[in-house]
Structure 1
Amino acid sequence: MPTPIERCDRRNAFTLIELLVVIAIIAVLIALLLPAVQSAREAARRAQCTNNLKQLGLSMHNYLDGNNCFPMGGFFGTSARYGFTRTYSFYLGILPFLEQGSMANSYNYSWTTFDTENTTTSGYGVSAMWCPSDADISRTRPGWGFLPDPYNFAYTSYGGCLGYFPSYPREYSYPKGSPEWTAIMAQTNGMIFFNSAVSLAQVTDGTSNTMVLGERTHEYLSPGDKDGYYWWISGQISDTLSSTFWPLNPQRRLKNIGGPAGFVAIWMAYVTGYSSSHPGGANFAFADGSVHFVKDSIDQWKIDETTGLPLGITQPGVTFQLPQGIKLGVYQALSSRNLGEVISADSW
């Protein structure tokens, strides 16, 4: 009699519960590992940003060796075609020291940055000017589209340091040599500003305590503003010049976008204040060629919570006035070159 075939009800497979447990374990492991991976990637981006600022700082010192001063922040020149009064930034002067001499030579100095004769230069992007954490900074955009001819602009994540006042004369309002012009220029205390030519001898606060360049993240701007600000070729305050007048990372700290009539518009905080996509602070290049990460927690002058503006500072005319006995923050002191502030090495 044949032996009956034995049946086996056991299956070599996972049950649904076991499968769900395995999936849950994998999900937990991913949740634990993902922040570490993201942190490592951000650390690499921050290191690249530091390297960019070191390259730019070194280029400025090479420029200094050849010209006995740091590059000029900008100046006005009228476009024969459009009538705008805006010219090139300090970046054009340091292009040869970034191995971009051919691009510097492509600029037509008989025209301004708004003339179509310079579209090749204005639309050329330089990777050393882009923080890798600044999303979308490498895109070329058509400006605000207000020019009758097609015109593309490339952008930069780094702005030259005006000091702690956003002082910038407008030649069409205050002619060169006028009392207003003279007053505005006298209040500039940074390294890179309108019509600047700062030598090392003028940095009396010490090169290791004086900022030259810092980050302003393009990512925080509104979609429309991304087209119109941070053009690397333009010497305008809202493009390649910045100030510590506003707190570091103002987009995270300012609650109010209003302000008293006649005062510098607070929306300028978002385009002229220093900011960063790095968590916790921003990178800055100093006049001695070093680069430091400045934390959001650095000591800064107090902000009026009702206006979002520095407490007690007024602007009765074209210049700013500090109240009697104001405490200057370490952040502001680091941005000035010659006002004699004493800054401890452990204060920032």
Structure 2
Amino acid sequence: MKNTKRGFTLVELLVVIAIIGMLVALLLPAIQQARESARRMQCANKLKQLSLGIHNYESAHKGFPYGCYSWADDCDPARWDGSTKRWYEDHNWYSYVMAYIDQTAIHQMIDFDYMMSHVKNYEARTTKCPNFSCPSDIGQVENEWNHKNWAKLRSNYVCNWGNTNYAQTNIGSPGTDEDLDGEGYDPNNQRFRGAPFVPKRNNPMQRIKDGLSNTLMMSETLVLPHTGSAWGGPISEVSVSVGGQTFNGFRTPNSEDGDSVIQHPSAAICASNGIPTPKKVSGHLNQIFTARSHHPGGVNASRCDGAVSFYSDDISAFVWQALSTAAGTEQIKKEDEI
């Protein structure tokens, strides 16, 4: 009897392909979820190392480093001479912490007698530092704009500026420039009540009256691609205004309310990295920048004791604002923080 080898029919082949396709479709979300989980853990580890670096700085200098330089210094571009220090282009906590996060080589490049925009600091400000990049932020482009009068590095990690605006003042009355959300006072009637980071000086740890474990130290933000204008990519540019180095606790993580800036990046630029279009305010000191990330459901944030947790987008405004104050004496439950 003659043996014949029978191959797959076209119908059988199509069935096999369909089954394989279904299996891939079922497995792909699980694979993506596992990858994001790994990225979130890597992000948390970076935040942990930065927080430990800040603690090491505090041990050596008896205070947390400058949140930013003072806005009270000379801000007249006509008087820029390469050494006059102005708040939007001078050193902040990133520069000072380099030596404490195993980035001694970059720290040694920095000449602190000159602002970051000065040619003497060109190499320092154009050297990529992986410590400041969240692996989930696919929109980040580090150090890609280097204008002679603006020193822009990129970071996803920002320090806690408090339940306030850039001026570290109480949010204002309805109808004023400080009425940043159009609704007047903060609905929880929160006041500023201090922050762990302040401008132009080290802030002693003793000023954190709420306790280190009850006060946020750092969180995440998102980086925009730059268009070449002053605010084309503001929401995480180190050494340039509030979005470079700080976040405000006024709004909860990943708030659908846009941040408040003096000049608008375009809606398309913001949408390219999942950021709500910012609102416009009249002055630098009225700006607000919110903790944001591409981790589904929340942001990583560290507390002043160095512990890192994942905070939900659904955290109550009262709890988030309470965690953002350094001396608010608010009473919150640990189970309400997550």
Instruction: Tell me the TM-score normalised to structure 1 length.
Output: 0.74
Matched, 1:113 2:116: yes
Given the alignment, which residue of 126, 137, 146 partners 1:134?
A: 137
Of the candidates 298, 312, 325, which is equivalent to residue 336 of structure 1? 325
Higher Cα Rg, which structure? 1
Q: What is the root-mean-square deviation in Å for CA atoms of aligned residues?
A: 2.9
Going from structure 1 to structure 2, the CA distance change for 1:257 and 1:344 (only over 3 Å counts) comes to same
Residue 46 of structure 2: aligned partner:
52
Change (3 A) 1:84 1:202: closer
Aligned residue in 2 for 1:285:
302
CA distance in 2: counterparts of 1:191 and 1:116, whole angstroms:
32
**Tell me, what secondary structure is at the counterpart of 1:93?**
helix
- Cα distance per residue 1:85-127 (max 9 Å; x no partner): 2311101111111111231121122321122221111112221
1:230 maps to what in 2?
Answer: 236
**Local SS of the residue matching 2:237:** coil
Task: Judge conservation of contact 2:252–2:316 (CA < 8 Å) in 1.
Answer: no
Match of 2:210 in 1: 205
Tell me, yes or no, if the aligned pair for 1:106 and 1:121 is still in contact at 8 Å.
Answer: yes
Cα distance, 1:140–1:75 mapped onto 2, change above 3 Å:
closer
**2:159 equivalent in structure 1:** 160
Distance 1:51 1:21, change over 3 A: same
The 1:256–1:138 alpha-carbon spacing in structure 2 relative to 1, beyond 3 Å, is closer
Report the equivalent of 1:345. 334
Matching residue of 1:34: 28
- Closer, same or farther in 2 for the Cα pair 1:346/1:238, shift >3 Å? same
Detail structure 1 runs of 4+ shifted over 6 Å in the superposition. Answer: 252-256, 263-266
Instruction: After TM superposition, give the deviation of residue 240 of structure 1 in Å.
Output: 0.6
- What's the counterpart of residue 254 of structure 2? 249
- Is the 2:68–2:245 contact (alpha carbons within 8 Å) kept by the matching residues of 1? no
**1:189-234: CA deviations, max 9, x gaps?**
211131243222211111111001000021xx365356555233x1
1:217 aligns with 2:222: yes
Whether the aligned pair in 1 keeps the contact of 2:258 and 2:278 (CA below 8 Å) is: no
TM-score normalised according to structure 2 size: 0.76
Count the aligned residue pairs: 287
Moved more, 39-48 or 108-117: 108-117
Which letter maps to 1:72?
A: Y
Q: Distance in 2 between matches of 1:273 and 1:107?
A: 29
Gaps of at least 5 residues in structure 1 are 1-5, 170-185, 301-328
The equivalent of 2:6 in structure 1 is 12
| Contact 1:71 1:94 survives alignment (8 Å) | yes
Q: Report the 3-state secondary structure (helix = DSSP H, G, I; strand = E; otherwise coil) of the residue aligned with 2:299.
A: strand
